[in-house]
A and B are shown apart, each in its own frame.
Chain A
Amino acid sequence: DCFREPEHQRRLQSVGHPKMLRILLVLGLAAFCVAKTPVSHCCSAEDRHIVQKQWHTLFDYMEHSSKLKIQFGEILLLKLAEAKPEVKEAFKRVNIDHPESGEFASHSVRILDALDMVINLLDHPEALNEALEHLAHQHHGRAGVKKEHFKLLGEQLINEELPRVLDEYDLMSWKACMHGILSGIAADVPA
């Protein structure tokens, strides 16, 4: 929404206030939009397409090799568990204590595929919301799962993992879109 300003600007200009004031107002609005709201609602159409395109290069590559897919998912979860040991409890059921097990491997892939699902639905807001609500419901009531875990997982993914494996990477677009995705999934868990 932050980038859908032209109409608004035009209307401001037609009102006929001193030019300087108008420019200041527009600049102020823009600065407010960038600084105050942490880009959460600014997953614009262009952002979505950038994220989808960049994600596809990685995901398609991983689809060629299930081993890579497993390992990428495992790295995400194991790093999270390293930073927040309490999440190990939540992943006990999928055998996180034995990362080489089939249970943990398939669970890691399930998480990556859920991410793939929502990224592919970014252009279809109603279906995306349904998918996010379902994921939120699946995480609801899981002992020890908190919002901060999703935040950390997202930060690790966006700031560390993805830039390491993607040649083309737009941090701002990823930030803008992942914020909505992760807060959607974490909607029903405590802070």
Chain B
Amino acid sequence: MKTAVVVLLVAMVAAVSASECDMLARLNVKSQWMRAYSHGRDREHFAEAIWRAVFAQVPEARSLFERVGGDDTSSAKFIGHAMRVLAGLDISINLLDQPDALKAQLEHLHHQHDERHIPARYYQALDRALMHVLPAQLGRCFDKEPWKACFHDILDGIKG
């Protein structure tokens, strides 16, 4: 009986910590991101991989990016945009452990996206793209549960 209770408790703790963006999950996500984000050309390729994965899922989303060279993800114009997006994500992920600053950052991003009327499935496509490109970048060091939990919070903040 006692063992059953312990097992149940452990299972509950595991379930809770797996689906929640708590402080440990945030630190985990931060350190994974740091490694995936990388530098220079590697970062450009990382960004391009994410956007190709997005456009492969929702090709019609390209039209939203006409102004920033969305028809060619390798163009300098689009790379410039893709780096801005990653910088926005970098800031948000970095601030996961600074609730007030994170809130302000997400409000800023929300404000930038609000009037573009982006369908929810585009955000889902970005979510799914990251969940595929990140493990490609990090190998088995990618930890899915904390990412899912914390990145959902970030996306919700941007969607508002």
CB distance B40 to A67 under 8 Å? no
The total of interchain contacts (Cβ-Cβ below 8 angstroms) comes to 97
Query: Could you say which of A106, A116, A123, A127 contacts B104, with CB atoms under 8 Å apart?
Result: A106
Question: With an 8 A cutoff between CB atoms, is A7 at the interface?
Answer: no
Query: Chain A residues with Cβ under 8 A from B96's Cβ?
Result: 66
Bound together, the chains give a CA A103 to CA B101 distance in angstroms of 6
Query: Known contacts being A63-B34, A64-B34, A120-B83, is A106 close to B105, with CB within 8 Å?
Result: yes
Bound together, the chains give a CA A110 to CA B101 distance in angstroms of 11
Interface size on A, residues (CB 8 A): 31
Q: Main secondary structure on chain A at its contact with chain B?
A: helix
Query: Chain B residues with Cβ under 8 A from A69's Cβ?
Result: 94
How would residues 87 to 121 of chain B score, 1 for a CB under 8 Å from any chain A CB and 0 otherwise?
Answer: 11011001111111111110010000000000000
CB distance A130 to B80 under 8 Å? yes
Query: Chain A residues with Cβ under 8 A from B104's Cβ?
Result: 101-103, 105-107
Interface size on B, residues (CB 8 A): 32
Question: With an 8 A cutoff between CB atoms, is B77 at the interface?
Answer: yes
CB distance A109 to B40 under 8 Å? no
Question: With an 8 A cutoff between CB atoms, is B41 at the interface?
Answer: yes
CB distance from A180 to the nearest CB of B (A): 16
Q: Which residues from 4 to 43 on chain B have a C-beta closer than 8 Å to any C-beta of chain A? A: 30, 34, 37, 39-41, 43
Query: Chain B residues with Cβ under 8 A from A106's Cβ?
Result: 91, 95, 101-102, 104-105, 108
Query: Known contacts being A117-B87, A120-B40, A127-B44, is A105 close to B79, with CB within 8 Å?
Result: no
CB distance from A84 to the nearest CB of B (A): 24
CB distance A67 to B98 under 8 Å? yes
Bound together, the chains give a CA A127 to CA B37 distance in angstroms of 18
Query: Chain B residues with Cβ under 8 A from A131's Cβ?
Result: 80, 83-84
Bound together, the chains give a CA A120 to CA B82 distance in angstroms of 13
Question: With an 8 A cutoff between CB atoms, is B136 at the interface?
Answer: no
Bound together, the chains give a CA A108 to CA B104 distance in angstroms of 11
CB distance from B25 to the nearest CB of A (A): 15
Q: Which residue of B lies closest to A103 (CB)?
A: B104
Bound together, the chains give a CA A126 to CA B80 distance in angstroms of 9
- B residues apposed to A, CB below 8 Å: 30, 34, 37, 39-41, 43-44, 76-77, 79-81, 83-84, 87-88, 90-91, 94-105, 108
Q: Knowing that A121-B79, A124-B44 touch, tell me 15 more A-B residue pairs with CB under 8 angstroms.
A: A66-B97, A69-B94, A102-B99, A105-B98, A106-B101, A106-B104, A109-B94, A110-B87, A110-B108, A113-B87, A113-B90, A121-B80, A124-B76, A124-B79, A131-B84
- 26 CB < 8 A contacts A-B: A52-B39, A52-B40, A60-B34, A63-B94, A69-B94, A101-B104, A103-B104, A105-B95, A105-B100, A106-B95, A106-B101, A106-B102, A107-B108, A109-B94, A110-B87, A110-B108, A113-B87, A113-B91, A117-B87, A120-B83, A121-B79, A124-B41, A129-B76, A130-B79, A131-B83, A134-B80
